[in-house]
């Protein structure tokens, strides 16, 4: 049974930091591209960042580039998203996703597995 379980969300003031984690099980984690998406109610899910299966390649959305770092630990089946200098517009539910592509897709339909999401709220 495939599971992706996110944690680390919460309420933070603007300018603060959060580290999201996503623990995977039920598939060969080290063979999958992992990504983070976010969604504001009523909007489409937005790509935040992704990391290749080995961790050697990372890709970020322009909206978070320079403020966020995605990393993974294949021994722990875990992917992380470190977010710094948070802004109120970063408020969303954050999802991790796993895909079996060679590249890092930016569209949600290209990912096979999804977590349930964790809420991040940034107050001004």
pLDDT per position as a tens digit, 30-46: 999 999 999 998 899 99
Among 34, 73, 30, smallest CA distance to 50 is for 34
Confidence of residue 101 (pLDDT cuts 50, 70, 90): confident
pLDDT per position as a tens digit, 39-72: 998 899 999 999 999 999 999 999 999 999 999 9
pLDDT per position as a tens digit, 105-119: 999 999 999 999 999
What is the pLDDT, as a whole number, of residue 49?
A: 98
What is the pLDDT, as a whole number, of residue 66?
A: 97
């Amino acid at each position: 049974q495939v599971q992706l379980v996110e944690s680390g969300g919460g309420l933070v003031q603007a300018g603060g930091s959060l580290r999201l984690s996503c623990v995977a099980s039920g598939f060969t984690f080290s063979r999958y591209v992992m990504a983070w998406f976010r969604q504001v109610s009523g909007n489409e899910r937005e790509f935040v960042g992704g990391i290749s299966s080995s961790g050697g390649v990372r890709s970020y959305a322009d909206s978070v580039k320079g403020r966020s770092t995605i990393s993974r630990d294949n021994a722990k089946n875990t992917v992380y998203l470190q977010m710094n200098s948070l802004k109120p517009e970063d408020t969303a539910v954050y999802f991790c996703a796993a895909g079996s592509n060679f590249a890092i897709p930016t569209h949600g339909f290209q990912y096979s597995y999804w977590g349930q999401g964790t809420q991040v709220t940034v107050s001004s």
